[in-house]
Structure 1
Amino acid sequence: MPVFSQKNAENQLNAEADKVRREDLESLLARQRTIEDKVKGSGKLNRFREDVKLMFAMIRDYWNGSYRDVPWKTIAAIAGTLLYVLNPLDVIPDLLIGIGFLDDAGVVALCLKLVESDLYRYAAWKEQQEDQISART
């Protein structure tokens, strides 16, 4: 029996996303560096480093109102996932060497699968915004 299954990841993701409120986004954004450092420092999570940066960019643009072409469910799922990663005492405590980040990686992977199309649309929008800024300078 696997230590942490996709069903466990789905249950955790849903539980975390259901708890997220709009006012939680600001405090999550304030913890961005802490979460990114945790992802970078973990072998299991490191492969998601660029995805996590994109998730934070989407949340930041949603929070400041510059990007709203995304359902709240996607924002809540991403925020719930990032808050789950931040928690060291989740389903499998991060202190357990070798397996402590398995649940975090499972939740991140599932979240990416669920919000993939919204993240792609956001990434395309973000690139277009950056191209417009570059064209003006």
Structure 2
Amino acid sequence: MALFSQKNARKQLNAEAEKVSRADLEALLERQRSIEEKVKGSGKLNRFSADIKLMFSMIQDYWNGSYRDVPWKSIAAMAGALLYVMNPLDFIPDLILGIGFVDDVGVVALCLKLVESDLHRYAAWKEYKEELTQTAQAD
């Protein structure tokens, strides 16, 4: 049996997402830089760095009210996954060399699978918004 399966990832993600409150989003956004640094330095999680930045961007836009075309469940899942990554003493403690980030990778990968369509819509919205801003500045 695998050390950390998709079933375990789903269980951990659901547990974290159920605990997320709107106040947790603020705390998460304050820790964004440290989480992104942890991801960069972890090898296994590094391949998700662009996705994690996009998740943070979406949470930030949700938090400040500029993007609300997403269900709370998706915001909670992303926040739960990022809070899980932030916790060094999770299902498999990050301190265990070689396998410490396996559970973090599983939780992030599952989260991305669950919110993929929401992230795609958000990325398209963000790109459109940036194009409008550039057009307005050019005029």
Q: TM-score under structure 2 normalisation? A: 0.98
What is the aligned-residue RMSD (CA, Å)?
0.3
Match of 1:71 in 2: 71
Summarize the alignment of residues 75-90 of structure 1 with structure 2, pairs less than 5 Å apart: 75-90=75-90
Summarize the alignment of residues 22-101 of structure 1 with structure 2, pairs less than 5 Å apart: 22-101=22-101
Runs of 4+ aligned structure 1 residues displaced above 3 Å come to: none
What SS is found at the alignment partner of 2:44? Answer: helix
- For 1:113 and 1:132, locate their aligned partners in 2 and report how far apart those are by CA, in whole Å: 29
Aligned residues: 137
- For 2:33 and 2:123, locate their aligned partners in 1 and report how far apart those are by CA, in whole Å: 20
Q: CA deviation at 1:6?
A: 0.2
Q: Which runs of 5+ in 1 are unaligned?
A: none
Summarize the alignment of residues 95-110 of structure 1 with structure 2, pairs less than 5 Å apart: 95-110=95-110
- For 1:57 and 1:44, locate their aligned partners in 2 and report how far apart those are by CA, in whole Å: 22
Q: TM-score under structure 1 normalisation? A: 0.99
Q: CA deviation at 1:40?
A: 0.5
Q: Describe the superposition over 1:68-116 as per-residue Cα deviations: whole angstroms up to 9, x where unpaired.
A: 0000000000000000000000000000000000000000000000000
